[in-house]
Structure 1
Amino acid sequence: MCGIAGVLSFDNTPEIDMIRRMLSRLSHRGPDGSGIYRDAHVALGQTRLAIVDVVGGTQPMSNEDGSVWITFNGEIFNHVELRSELAALGHRFRSHSDTEVIVHAWEQWQEGCFARFNGQWALAIWERDRQRLILSRDRLGVRPLYLFRDRGRIVFASEVKAIFADPGVPRSFDRVGLAETMTFWSTIAPRTVFVGIEQLPPGHLAVITRESYDVRAFWRPEFPPLGQEEQQDLERNADDVRERLIEAVRLRFLRSDVPVAAYLSGGIDSAVIAAVISRYTDVPLHTFSLRFSDVDFDEGPFQRRMAERLGTEHHEVTVCAGDIGAAFPEVVRHAETPLLRAAPAPMLLLSALAREHGYKVVVTGEGADEVFAGYDIFREGRLREFVARDPDSAVRASALDLLYPWMARAPGQAPAFAREFFGRNLSADDPAMSHRPRWDSTASLLALTTPHADWPTDVTGGLVAAMPAQNSAWDPLSRAQWLEMTTLLPGYILASQGDRMLMANSVEGRFPFLDRDVVDLANRLPSRHKLLGMDEKHVLKRAFWDLLPESILTRPKQPYRSPDASAFFGNESAPWVDEVMAPDEVAAAGIFEPAAAASLMRKCRRKGGARMGNTDNMRTLAMISTQLVYRQFILGDGSSGAAQPLAEPLTVIDRAAHS
């Protein structure tokens, strides 16, 4: 895993000092070395976290004659199989790295190579002789890739702060991107919250020449028409899920030249991963868990029960509200976007624990909820679909009282409210019916913003219009999964809460549930095998029932949560909040109405951030994090302030004079 950066300019030779400054902003992503390649039109750079072929995997890397160069962030887990196939076709290799496999795969199959990769990546390939730059990002957006385009010049990097190392890149808020964040919890690629900064969408590649910038998809989530699923037998599907997930875990746990650990959350997903490692490998396993001093959020008993069952070397970090408040400015600096929850902060502290124990790689359970329909939003969608068939039925409407039993203020405690709120927008013709309550609730944040011509009236229409035309033939659950895989998964779960909090401490995350073959299989399954009645992830439980204790297998779904507003206004209040939320600074940022912000801050202080409803928690986090983004990235340039030296060894290949 690494940080990558580059500059393409057809009219001028990129400055080598520029690529150095960009890489210095990415030193946390790659502390094990750095490299630069430059010729007359391109400069490519990388900061390296050495995991595969620690000695021979230095980048940027080229083919034999130097006509193709690459800078690469990620892992291609099936590189061993691809290497054998390419060797049989006549390709010769100088290293054992997966990076070199990509170079030869590009030579052999061109853009068709990306469909062959089973992995997680963001990369740039420079064809020197053809004067073409190719950018690519993995199917589901595990690894980030941002870019700025301006008059025949492209600046790209793993993180926005590296692009802002270029003083010629403007820094201002994109209000459409902010509106998307305040509706979907994140922007929808290619948009970001910064004007002019794009992200390459997951599953896409860009081919860039002097004359054109061409972006196209090499993969999109697809589901079979309702009733035309390939395999209807539950037991056979459970066996297939087990076989593919075991292989996905083995690839991610064993294909590494450094030790790999596992996160253990207390839920089914991470328990399955850890259990597979223990059963099907002979490598001792270290597990890492996140605990909370507040028992409402703590899952420690379940984590310890699983660790004891497997006999792992177990490590814990216990987080209190004050820890979250203290870490939050650094969290936002790494996330590079406003956040509606404080949940990424404890993940930053967990990755720090893994790194302190010497681990560069962890496997986690992320992706299982999206792929096997584990979220409450899918259960909610199923119930709303049930009610929509007969909206006037009191019996059907009462089923909505069952939603979100884990919440302190669960809808079931206010049945009339639940039926009114979740009974809105019940249109069978709406492909996004499953997500309307969440979007409507989150979009209430926009009522607190300042009037401005650039605020969009609605951002949901564009997303719904982008859904595949064939979605009308899908099961409603499939449509809901498509929306989740397009919004929350890449934009928040894998970015703000995933890659950024891991790589802030130079730790690579690997996600077996997002394996290419696992996802393709899960997407072909009948929806009832994933969500059987109200039993989420049914086929996954069926596949691994023998490896999990009954207490975890039958445990009601509880999503990962952490303290929110109480992290800033409780007994250990964060002193920096008053500064970023000062009325003059709120007014200068121009996003939220100063009076509305001041009123909410008074409410938070009066209550100490406790016993606040979901909406007020979101409002508080949105305002505080947006003001931090303003201070760190609009007034500042995203850097931590102190210049970071490039990691040694540093390799510089400068061909500018010979191009």
Structure 2
Amino acid sequence: MCGIAGIFDLNGRRPIDRACLEGMNATQFHRGPDEGGIHLEPGVGLAHRRLSIIDLKGGQQPLFNEDGSVVVTYNGEIYNFPELTHELQRAGHRFRTHCDTEVIVHAWEEWGEDCVQRFRGMFAFALWDRHTQTLFLARDRLGIKPLYYSELPDGQLIFGSELKVLLAHPGQTRELDPCAVEEYFAYGYVPEPRSILSGVHKLPPGHTLSVRRNQRSAASPRAYWDVPFATAAPIGMSEAAEELTERLREAVRIRMVAEVPLGAFLSGGVDSSAVVAMMAGLSSEPVRTCSIGFADPAYDESRYAREVAERYATDHHNREVDPDDFALLERLGDLYDEPFADSSALPTYRVCEQARRQVVVALSGDGGDETLAGYRRYRHHLAEERLRNPLPLGLRRVLFGSLAQVYPKADWAPRPLRARATFQALARDAVEGYFQGVSVLRDEQRSTLFSSAFRRELQGYGAVEVLRAHAGRAPTDDPLSLVQYLDLKTYLPGDILTKVDRASMAHSLEVRVPLLDHPLVEWASTLAPELKLRDGEGKAVLKKAMEPYLPHSILYRRKRGFAVPLANWFRGPLREVMHERVLGEQMRDSGLFDERTLRRLVDEHGRGARDHSAALWSLMMFQTFLDKVQPTSPRSGCVLPGA
């Protein structure tokens, strides 16, 4: 993996400050410790940090075409580059290296902006074409690799792999986007295309951005791909399982090309175990596998990883981590730049740290839950939809909304016994119902959390609009497919892939994700929903496909993710730290929060009256962000996503 950065003068050919560009690039040294490169010409500056994986001697960047008129800085892997190289050579292009980077400049010459349609892999790149005076930015289809950009008041466009790259430019303001704050406390991350800062954007997955010299402002991103969810010829479970196995095997095979040590994460879950099983069948040497375990059995799943490792005789490395491993709190602020409330970032950091001791490239099982419907919340959503569907929305809002008002709140009770929550869910439409199910803090909780002054800044904006915007563009209205689509557009790139990218890059580790091979994702989206979620069993077709390869104890056990004991931490070893951060001067002076609500959350959790660990963790991560970035006050008003 690598890091990219750049400065482009939208209005002319003003000289680019080399020291400024070098400073931006230096902030992402961890993404590419092997080499660094800079290209400057009037009005254009491109920078690169390299983690060498393929063509170790010949893949330096920025990289040029034959006459030097096209130059690229690139982060990622294009797995079909050998085939594209041959095709482009037959078309007359001359190659000087054996790396996938050079494919990009020649593909641009041959196919222009449509070149991204030919790439199979993960990527974020910036390409400058001197002949057409065009800067072209692109991000892969699923958002595996990140790309931030910002248009400065002086007419410069700056970009980079992480937000810290942009913050190193003296012209980048640090004004909070109030809508992004609302979205963060709803989702636990800031979904694309926003960032936490006003004017800084993330290029959405499956989009490109093309800007030309002397444009008044940057153009809008253009979508070049979407998950189809198109109806295909129906196939049965056995046939689908057989085809899935072959597609997964191919996706794994093309991701095993590397000139450095390669291995895999192995958690003992279905997805990572399936990837390791395919790798073992494709490798003549034992697969290197890495996992972490916990001394506390309540959090430890290492025995399942060992079971798979023993079955395939892998070179397995397990590291036991103390479940009270909260020493990384400060580090998370440096890693994520934006506030990021997924507490599994802590064990993810540790497993990447463990893997880097053995390998430079690791394959992971990320993406299986979104692609093949593995989350338990999908079952809950479909159950609610079956209850909602018999009655029209208008009637449900009146009937169940009224019942929700008179029933007591019972968040402490098991889900089936929370009558008020159930009535509230039935009074909503499908998108709003799903939004409330995935929210870290629900609407009423965020309303009481924010100060009255900040609520006025929001001007009525609600984070549900992120999902509504995606649902409006969704190519399906099937209840299961729709929420999969929403997760593929939000949770996958905003949480899962962000978490892994920053944690792995902190250790200069490249992570590849076979289950997000886009032909596999496209094919899986066309499968009948009942092949993915059958009789309450998520990822049914994957589990059926893996029955010859993995034991029943791996395939059909209850799903568990990385977990950390937040509730216990905040009543024990982190009690004072949490108290100081949540109720400290910085949070108070921000003007964003209602002080009485903050004190209530801390007090109720400390007494054991309520579990507010998710809210308190979100607040702590937000305070860490404030402390690291020191933003100015929010700008006035909100702009809807995509506006």
Amino-acid identity (%): 34
Cα deviations by residue, 1:518-538 (Å, 9 ceiling, x for unpaired): 101101111111111211101
**Partner SS for 2:362:** strand
Instruction: Report the Cα distance in structure 2 between the residues aligned to 1:448 and 1:603, rounded to whole angstroms.
Output: 14
Report whether the alignment pairs 1:370 with 2:374: no
Match of 1:361 in 2: 361
Partner of 1:135: 137
CA distance in 1, matches of 2:503, 2:550: 28
Distance 2:49 2:260 in 1: 18
Q: Determine the structure 2 residue equivalent to 1:397.
A: none
Q: 1:541 is matched by which residue type in structure 2?
A: K
How many Å separate the matches in 1 of 2:40 and 2:20? 11
Does structure 1 conserve the Cα–Cα contact (< 8 Å) formed by 2:34 and 2:51?
A: yes
The DSSP-based 3-state class of the residue aligned with 1:467 is: helix
* Cα separation, 2, equivalents of 1:5 and 1:529: 43
Asked if 1:351 is matched to 2:355, the reply is no
Check the 8 A contact 2:583/2:598 in 1, yes or no.
no
Deviation for aligned residue 1:388: 2.5
When structure 1 is superposed on structure 2, of 138-147 and 275-284 the one drifting more is 275-284
What's 2:229 paired with?
A: 223
d(CA) in 1 for partners of 2:470, 2:301: 38
Match of 2:622 among 619, 626, 636: 626
Q: Secondary structure at 1:276's aligned position in 2?
A: helix
Alignment match, 2:159: 156
Q: 1:37 to 1:179 in 2, by over 3 A?
A: same
Gapped runs of 5+ residues in structure 2? Answer: 393-409, 633-643
Q: Could you give the per-residue CA deviations for residues 64-100 of structure 1, whole angstroms, max 9, x where no partner exists?
A: 1011010000110111111111111111110011000
Contact 2:582–2:616 (Cα < 8 Å) also in 1: no
Equivalence for 1:467? 471
Q: Distance in 2 between matches of 1:416 and 1:189?
A: 35
Q: Partner of 2:299: helix, strand, or coil?
A: coil
The answer as to 2:403 corresponding to 1:426 is no
1:213 aligns with 2:218: yes
Give the aligned partner of residue 404 of structure 1: none
State whether residues 448 and 597 of structure 2, in contact with CA within 8 Å, keep that contact through their aligned partners in structure 1: no
**TM-score of the aligned structures, taking structure 1 as reference length:** 0.87
**Corresponding residue of 1:492:** 495
Alpha-carbon distance change, 329 to 575 in structure 1, aligned in 2, over 3 angstroms:
farther
Q: How big is each residue's C-alpha offset from its partner over 1:194-215, in whole Å with a ceiling of 9 and x where there is no partner?
A: 1221110110000011215232
Say if 2:363 and 2:511, in contact at 8 Å, map to a contact too.
Answer: yes
How far 1:469 moved relative to its partner? 4.8
Q: Is the 8 A contact 1:385 1:428 kept in 2?
A: no
- Coordinate RMSD, CA, aligned: 2.3
C-alpha change, 1:470 and 1:597, in structure 2 (3 Å) is closer
What is the CA–CA distance in structure 1 between the aligned matches of 2:459 and 2:242, rounded to whole Å? 47
2:402 aligned residue:
none
**Deviation at residue 4 of structure 1 after TM alignment:** 0.6
Separation (CA, whole Å) in 2 of partners of 1:465 and 1:146:
21
Is contact 1:184-1:487 (8 Å) kept?
A: no
Deviations along 1:24-64, whole A, 9 cap, x unmatched? 10011010010000000111001110011111000000101
What displacement does 1:428 show? 9.0
Q: CA deviation at 1:184?
A: 2.5
Report the secondary structure of 1:213's partner residue.
coil
Distance 1:484 1:558, change over 3 A: same
Paired residues of 1:204 and 1:218 also in contact (CA < 8 A): yes
Report what 1:6 is aligned to.
6
Does 1:272 pair with 2:274? yes
Structure 1 residues 244 and 74: alpha-carbon distance in aligned structure 2, compared to 1, 3 A threshold: same
Q: Is the 8 A contact 1:380 1:434 kept in 2?
A: no
Distance 1:517 1:190 in 2: 24
Q: Which runs of 5+ in 1 are unaligned?
A: 393-408, 637-659
**Deviation (angstroms), 1:216:** 0.4
Asked whether the 8 Å contact 2:151–2:218 carries over to 1, the reply is: no
User: Aligned partners of 2:384, 2:118: CA distance in 1, in Å?
Assistant: 39
In 1, Cα distance between equivalents of 2:184 and 2:293: 28
Sort the Cα spacing of 1:574 and 1:129 in 2 relative to 1 into closer, same or farther, 3 A. Answer: farther
Corresponding residue number in structure 2 for 1:71: 73
Q: Is 1:203 aligned to residue 206 of structure 2?
A: yes
Quote the residue 1:644 is aligned against.
none
1:244 maps onto 2:247 in alignment: yes
* CA distance in structure 2 between the partners assigned to 1:148 and 1:390 by the alignment: 47
Give the 3 Å change call, closer, same or farther, for CA 469–588 of structure 1 in structure 2: closer
Amino acid at match of 1:382: L
Write the distance in 1 (CA, Å) between the matches of 2:50 and 2:129. Answer: 22
Q: TM-score if structure 2 supplies the norm length?
A: 0.89
Choose which of 93, 100, 103 in structure 2 pairs with 1:101. Answer: 103
Bigger Cα displacement from structure 2, 126-135 vs 427-436: 427-436
Matches within 5 A, 1:179-328: 179-209=182-212, 210-211=214-215, 212-214=217-219, 215-224=221-230, 228-253=231-256, 255-323=257-325, 325-328=326-329
| Cα separation, 2, equivalents of 1:442 and 1:618 | 11
Deviation at residue 470 of structure 1 after TM alignment = 6.0
2:630 partner SS: helix
Aligned-residue offset at 1:574: 7.9
The answer to whether the 8 Å contact 1:2/1:46 transfers is yes
Moved over 6 A (4+): 409-412
Asked if structure 2 preserves the Cα contact closer than 8 Å seen for 1:583 and 1:594, the reply is: no
Larger relative contact order (Cα-Cα within 8 Å, sequence gap ≥ 6): 1
Q: Which amino acid aligns with 2:383?
A: L
Shift in alpha-carbon separation, 1:244–1:391, aligned structure 2, 3 A: same
- Measured against aligned partners, the alpha-carbon deviations of 1:397-419 in whole angstroms (never above 9, x if no partner) come to xxxxxxxxxxxx999846321x5
Structure 2 Cα separation of the partners of residues 346 and 261 of structure 1: 18
Cα distance, 1:346 vs. partner? 1.3
Mapped contact 1:5–1:22 kept (Cα < 8 A) = yes
Letter in 1 for 2:588: A
Q: What SS does structure 2 have at the residue aligned with 1:332?
A: helix
Aligned in 2, Cα 1:469/1:331: closer, same or farther, shift over 3 Å?
closer
Cα displacement (A) at 1:603: 4.4
Q: Show the counterpart of 2:545.
A: 543
Residue identity matched to 1:460: V
Q: Could you say if the C-alpha distance between residues 153 and 464 of structure 1 is closer, same or farther in structure 2, counting changes exceeding 3 Å?
A: same
Query: What is the match of residue 41 of structure 2?
Result: 39
CA separation of 1:322/1:413 partners in 2, compared to 1, >3 Å: closer, same or farther?
Answer: closer
List per-residue Cα deviations over 1:260-298 (Å, max 9, x = no partner): 111111210000001111122213211111222332221
- Write the letter of the residue equivalent to 2:468: V
Q: CA deviation at 1:482?
A: 0.8
Q: Aligned partners of 2:190, 2:586: CA distance in 1, in Å?
A: 24
